[in-house]
Amino acid sequence: MTRAIRSLVIAVLAASACAAGCTMANTDAPPLQGPSELGLSVAVAANPDVLSFDGASQSQIVIDARDANGQVAPGKTMRAEIVVNNTLVDFGSLTPRTFVTGSNGRATLTYTAPAPIAGATASSYVDIVVIPSGTDANAATGRSISIRLVPPGVITGGGPNPSFTYSPVLPAAFSDVRFDASATTAAIGAGIANYAWNFGDGSTGGGVTATHQFAAGNYTVTLTATDTYGFSASTSKTVAVSAGVAPIADFTYSPSNPAMNQDILFNASASRAGTGHRIVRYDWNFGSGQPQSGVTVSKAYDTAGTYNVILTVTDEVGQANIATKTVTVANVGGLTPSFTMSPTNPKAGVHVVSFNGTGSTAPPGATIVSYAWDFGDGTVGAGANASHLYAVDAVYVVRLTITDSTGRTAFATQNLTVAP
């Protein structure tokens, strides 16, 4: 081969960028650029463009030539070469090498794949380069087409057929959804090397089976299967995820027969979230006084009567449920907290204030078993008598809570003004 033709082949390869990394698809030639004595437009196609390394499989190479006016160009002499990795080689056979286009501007060549290569497990590529001949080879413009060679036993042109199922088909938010790609198939002679999952919410996974949890909404889940020869294919399905089951509200309270001014403990731990959800709020309405929030709260009623206590629980997606129970507060006489303070006008940091709760009384048959003090500044005390020194001048709400031998409680409060 002349140096001019070899240089032209290398230039053609650089222009077409068609080497071992070329795709399998036939591509149209780029527009002719620069001067050409021939003014030819050359198109090259290969059918099939995937062959087996078996020394016998063949591909038909069709060349169509047209002149500068787009008309068929008969009688044009051209040459074809085999190129691998930018190098002219006889890798397989190509006949004829030099040819002339027919009356329809077309010529047909035959490329035969090379004999099997021992240990070959991956694909190779060859480029068939067609070079128009003229009075100046350096001014001619060539074209090329890629053919993929695969190890014997692989169905040429075949690839994976991804398929998957998921269950449950109507999943709830934050519950497990199982994906199964075991129905995916590969071409004869190949296997599935990799399963890649894209769950449509920014999360990915791998493996023939995968498990994922979704928030409520619609998601496009995509499975990409890659076979042992590098072919990949994808399939997608839309997964509709419902908000799920609303929470169930429930609570208990103690004591079950409270009296006026007796602390009642309310406990909502018996409430349950729906599958895959969690409760994020517990809101209480006691039918009297200020609402509260929390799993456990306490409340005392200063007036006897029947009250509807409402608990509202809310999960993380905003689903809510309520529970209502009736609490009857009795007017039980006899358990009466009472206390005195001395001095009544103390100075901050100077006077120690004495508190005396011995004036409290219990109903007949019961005794007072505990005295609990809340001095209003974040400190507490215990006993029928207590004392405290206030460091800062302010108005403090002092609270005494007494408990009798039957378990009943009652409280009383007084304001104490501490001077500077």
Provide long-range contacts, Cβ within 8 A and 24+ apart, for 34-39: 34/139, 34/141, 35/139, 36/132, 36/134, 36/139, 36/140, 36/141, 37/134, 37/135, 37/136, 37/139, 37/140, 38/76, 38/132, 38/134, 38/140, 39/67, 39/68
> In the listed set 241, 260, 293, which residue is the last one of a domain according to the structure?
241
Q: Are residues 283 and 348 in the same domain?
A: no
Biggest distance spanned by C-alpha atoms of the chain: 130
Comparing 70 with 321, the larger pLDDT belongs to 321
**pLDDT single digits (tens) 198-217:** 999 999 999 999 999 998 89
Q: Are residues 37 and 106 in the same domain?
A: yes
> In the listed set 241, 267, 282, which residue is the last one of a domain according to the structure?
241
The listed range with the strongest mean pLDDT (8-17, 59-68, 325-334) is 59-68
Query: What's the domain range around 52?
Result: 3-150
Q: Are residues 111 and 7 in the same domain?
A: yes
Is 118 inside any structural domain?
A: yes
The mean per-residue pLDDT over the stretch 142-148 comes to: 85
* Average pLDDT score, the chain: 84
Q: Are residues 11 and 139 in the same domain?
A: yes
The mean per-residue pLDDT over the stretch 277-295 comes to: 94
- Residue 132 tokens read as 């128009």
The mean per-residue pLDDT over the stretch 144-149 comes to: 88
Q: Are residues 401 and 315 in the same domain?
A: no
Q: Are residues 325 and 186 in the same domain?
A: no
Q: Are residues 119 and 43 in the same domain?
A: yes
User: At 194, is the secondary structure helix, strand, or coil?
Assistant: strand
DSSP 329-370: EB---S-B---EEESSS-BTTTPEEEEE-TT-B--TT--EEE
CB atoms within 10 A of CB 173: 22
Amino acid code (one letter) for 84: V
Q: In what order do the strands lie in the sheet with 385-389?
A: 340-342, 352-356, 385-389
Strand partners, 72: 66
Comparing 158 with 404, the larger pLDDT belongs to 404
CA 143 to chain CA mean position, Å: 46
> In the listed set 329, 356, 389, which residue is the last one of a domain according to the structure?
329
Is the preceding omega at residue 343 within 30 degrees of 0, hence cis? yes
**pLDDT single digits (tens) 347-392:** 999 999 999 999 998 888 889 999 999 999 999 999 999 999 999 9
Q: Are residues 31 and 138 in the same domain?
A: yes
Phi first, then psi: give them for residue 354, nearest 5 degrees: -100, 135
Q: Are residues 51 and 86 in the same domain?
A: yes
Give the CATH number, domain containing residue 386. 2.60.40.10
Q: Are residues 143 and 173 in the same domain?
A: no
Q: Are residues 35 and 146 in the same domain?
A: yes
DSSP 217-276: EEEEEEEEEEETTS-EEEEEEEEEEB--PPPB---EEESSS-BTT--EEEE-TT-BPPTT
Comparing 104 with 174, the larger pLDDT belongs to 104
Is 160 inside any structural domain?
A: no
**pLDDT single digits (tens) 229-239:** 778 889 999 99
Is 301 inside any structural domain?
A: yes
372, exposed or middle or buried, with CB in 10 Å at 0-12, 13-18, 19+? Answer: middle
Say if residue 19's pLDDT is above 60: no
The listed range with the strongest mean pLDDT (64-78, 157-171, 205-219, 318-332) is 205-219
Is 50 inside any structural domain?
A: yes
Is 121 inside any structural domain?
A: yes
pLDDT at 34 (0 to 100):
36
- Kindly report the pTM of this predicted structure: 0.38
Q: Are residues 114 and 16 in the same domain?
A: yes
Is 360 inside any structural domain?
A: yes
Is 247 inside any structural domain?
A: no
Q: Give the contacts of 228 (CB within 8 A, at least 6 positions apart).
A: 186, 190, 191, 192, 193
Is 158 inside any structural domain?
A: no
**pLDDT single digits (tens) 31-75:** 433 334 446 788 999 888 888 888 888 899 999 988 888 899 899
Say if residue 14's pLDDT is above 50: no
Total number of domains constituting the chain: 4
pLDDT at 192 (0 to 100):
92
